[in-house]
Chains A and B, each alone.
Chain A
Amino acid sequence: MNYNWNWGIFFDASPEGTGTYADMLLSGLIWTIVTALCAWVIAFAVGSVIGVLRTLPSRPAQAVGNAYVELFRNIPLLVQMFLWFFVLPELLPESWGTWLKQLPNAPFYTAVVCLGFFTASRVAEQVRAGIQALPRGQRMAGTALGLTTAQTYRYVLLPNAYRIILPPLTSEFLNNLKNTSVALTIGLLELTARARAMQEFSFQVFEAFTAATIIYIIINLLVVTAAGLIERRVAVPGR
């Protein structure tokens, strides 16, 4: 193969002057993790609300929930990224738009919001499925005990539903983590972007991408292991 391998490249200084190429990838990893975690907070909160809306007896609530999921699931994430980053500020009143565009770390905030709302539509699907998988008797028992709808959800339905959907939620979390790489198109300096930059500066394409690949695999293993532990911790004894 007509390619000059150089595995020592990771210890060479990067032209950004902030350390070696390894440091560059590490900083990318940190951005990836921070973005994924912040987006997950939004995704989990919004997704739970939308998921619950879709299981409420009220028709308008269901319609809102369904519309949200359809909207966010049927547009590619990359296009949504562009809508948030390039289109939204131009549609807002000028002063708001300017403020948004001049935020420091604008790509980061945009990526968090975009990914958060996108992943929320997927979390909502899981939450809905989890609630609907519970025996109908649970909801009835809640009502019979004199709990309000909100209390039924808070104390009966959601704690059970979350336990059921923990495995699919883990995989949504991993998707969310991988999807942070789409934000490189709006200038977020996450792991894939840093690997690409390393390739551009050093010309060592395959070393850079190999390193990124290994890092992604390690994070995946860690998340899967952690999810397994959580699953065992929160399992209802005797079920």
Chain B
Amino acid sequence: MRLRSLLPVLLAGLAASAGAASAQDLTGTLKKIKETGQITLGTRDASVPFSYLDNNQKPVGFAMDICYKIVDAVKTELKLDKLEVKLNPVTSATRIPLIANGTVDLECGSTTNNVERQKQVAFTNTHFLTANRFVAKKSSGLTKFEDLKGKTVVSTSGTTNIKQINEYNTEKKLGITILPAKDHAEAFLMVETGRAAAFVMDDVLLASLAAGSKEPTAYAISTDALSKPEPYGIMLRKDDAPFKKVVDAATAAFYKSPEAKTAYDKWFMKAIPPRDINLNLPMSEALQQAFAKPSDSPDPAAY
């Protein structure tokens, strides 16, 4: 056991001295990818438009495009002729354990990068910034978080959002009933069908789900937010510096290139599947800066 725990250290030392990427010198995820010729991406069912199912139930989205860029970079780095990409669906609740236990190598979705999560996993450069708000039917007249007093609201289990609304509820003693839902689409449907008065989530996801609903004009997003805009990042295993280096370099190069803007516009400024709806969300100033100077900081104030 002691020898086994020493092994990665030894291998890392070797890799540093040799520099070249031959299978013996590699460690962690890179080594595994080289050996198996496979990389597994964690995908989401309903993180529109980051990673969600299109008309053919295939995961697509902005984060998926970024992940395929990373896959290309990994393939080049490892000098592989062929790299098989496997897709494994994850939920907000399962994504962190599944990254940690090696089931998925990269989680491509809408995961908030924060200090707490960095104790368990690592994040690459930020690909979006979003704040925690809620969506409700306009007819309900709910516009501020205070209005939720005594109501039943829903949020997705395993998110920072459900944690924040729980903390807010306790702090302000509002007596809100908070239902956990498995994923964003289910949570939104709870509002649509009247099971819950509001859905507490990242504003960009709320806007996308509302836009894709049967009656987009019937919903309004809260005017106040529970958090500052927080960064989203592609998630990977922690303590795997060589892999993170490749992923960081790939995302930084992509975000700085004009391609990133094109990809952004493809998902946020044009009609997207499955229902050809245009979200019309121009890139924010903060995100433009984050793309110009890529950063993996979990601190909202850094953006």
Chain A contact residues, CB within 8 Å of chain B: 2-4, 15-18, 86, 89-90, 97-98, 101-102, 104-107, 185, 187, 189, 193, 196-197, 199-201, 203, 205
Q: Which residues of B contact A196 (CB under 8 A)?
A: 93, 157
A197 x B180 contact (CB < 8 A): yes
A187 x B179 contact (CB < 8 A): yes
Q: Which are the 8 A-B pairs with shortest beta-carbon distances?
A: A17-B170, A187-B179, A200-B158, A16-B166, A203-B120, A101-B194, A15-B163, A101-B195
Some 28 contacts from A to B, beta carbons below 8 A apart, are A3-B100, A4-B119, A15-B163, A16-B169, A16-B170, A17-B166, A17-B169, A86-B189, A89-B193, A101-B193, A101-B194, A101-B195, A102-B152, A102-B194, A104-B152, A185-B182, A187-B154, A187-B180, A196-B93, A196-B157, A200-B92, A200-B93, A200-B157, A200-B162, A203-B116, A203-B117, A203-B119, A205-B97
User: Knowing A98-B194, A104-B177, A199-B97 touch, does A15 contact B167 (C-beta < 8 A)?
Assistant: yes
B171 located at the interface, meaning its Cβ lies under 8 Å from any Cβ of chain A in the complex: yes
Q: Which residues of B contact A104 (CB under 8 A)?
A: 152, 177
B181 located at the interface, meaning its Cβ lies under 8 Å from any Cβ of chain A in the complex: yes
- The CA of A199 and the CA of B182, in the complex, are separated in Å by 15
B209 located at the interface, meaning its Cβ lies under 8 Å from any Cβ of chain A in the complex: no
Q: Which residues of A contact B154 (CB under 8 A)?
A: 187
Q: Which residues of B contact A86 (CB under 8 A)?
A: 189, 193
B250 located at the interface, meaning its Cβ lies under 8 Å from any Cβ of chain A in the complex: no
- The CA of A97 and the CA of B194, in the complex, are separated in Å by 9
Q: With both chains docked as a complex, state the minimum distance between the C-beta of A200 and any C-beta of chain B, in angstroms.
A: 4
Chain B contact residues, CB within 8 Å of chain A: 92-93, 96-97, 100, 116-117, 119-120, 152, 154, 157-158, 162-163, 166-167, 169-171, 177, 179-182, 189, 193-195, 239
* Residue of B120, B162, B194 contacting most chain A CB atoms (<10 Å): B194
- The CA of A229 and the CA of B117, in the complex, are separated in Å by 49
Closest to A85 in B: B195
With A197-B157, A200-B158 known, 7 other A-B pairs at CB within 8 A are A18-B170, A86-B189, A104-B177, A106-B152, A107-B179, A199-B97, A200-B92
Q: Which residues of B contact A106 (CB under 8 A)?
A: 152, 195
Q: With both chains docked as a complex, state the minimum distance between the C-beta of A93 and any C-beta of chain B, in angstroms.
A: 14
- The CA of A220 and the CA of B197, in the complex, are separated in Å by 38
Looking at chain A's contact residues, the main secondary structure is: helix
Closest to A86 in B: B193
- The CA of A200 and the CA of B157, in the complex, are separated in Å by 8
* Residue of A3, A106, A200 contacting most chain B CB atoms (<10 Å): A200
* Residue of B93, B154, B189, B239 contacting most chain A CB atoms (<10 Å): B93
Q: With both chains docked as a complex, state the minimum distance between the C-beta of A16 and any C-beta of chain B, in angstroms.
A: 5
Q: With both chains docked as a complex, state the minimum distance between the C-beta of A81 and any C-beta of chain B, in angstroms.
A: 12
Closest to B171 in A: A17
Q: With both chains docked as a complex, state the minimum distance between the C-beta of B121 and any C-beta of chain A, in angstroms.
A: 9
* Residue of A16, A98, A104 contacting most chain B CB atoms (<10 Å): A16
B181 x A187 contact (CB < 8 A): yes
User: Knowing A15-B167, A17-B167 touch, does A90 contact B193 (C-beta < 8 A)?
Assistant: yes
Q: With both chains docked as a complex, state the minimum distance between the C-beta of B168 and any C-beta of chain A, in angstroms.
A: 10
Q: Which residues of A contact B163 (CB under 8 A)?
A: 15, 200-201
Q: With both chains docked as a complex, state the minimum distance between the C-beta of B249 and any C-beta of chain A, in angstroms.
A: 24
- The CA of A106 and the CA of B97, in the complex, are separated in Å by 30
- The CA of A205 and the CA of B103, in the complex, are separated in Å by 15
Q: With both chains docked as a complex, state the minimum distance between the C-beta of A156 and any C-beta of chain B, in angstroms.
A: 48
Q: With both chains docked as a complex, state the minimum distance between the C-beta of A103 and any C-beta of chain B, in angstroms.
A: 9
Q: Which residues of A contact B119 (CB under 8 A)?
A: 4, 203
Q: With both chains docked as a complex, state the minimum distance between the C-beta of B196 and any C-beta of chain A, in angstroms.
A: 9
- The CA of A131 and the CA of B179, in the complex, are separated in Å by 43
A15 x B166 contact (CB < 8 A): yes
Q: With both chains docked as a complex, state the minimum distance between the C-beta of A201 and any C-beta of chain B, in angstroms.
A: 6
- The CA of A18 and the CA of B181, in the complex, are separated in Å by 21
- The CA of A185 and the CA of B180, in the complex, are separated in Å by 9
- The CA of A107 and the CA of B177, in the complex, are separated in Å by 11
Q: Which residues of B contact A97 (CB under 8 A)?
A: 194
- The CA of A2 and the CA of B193, in the complex, are separated in Å by 43
Q: Which residues of B contact A197 (CB under 8 A)?
A: 157, 180
- The CA of A2 and the CA of B157, in the complex, are separated in Å by 25
- The CA of A189 and the CA of B163, in the complex, are separated in Å by 15
Closest to A201 in B: B163
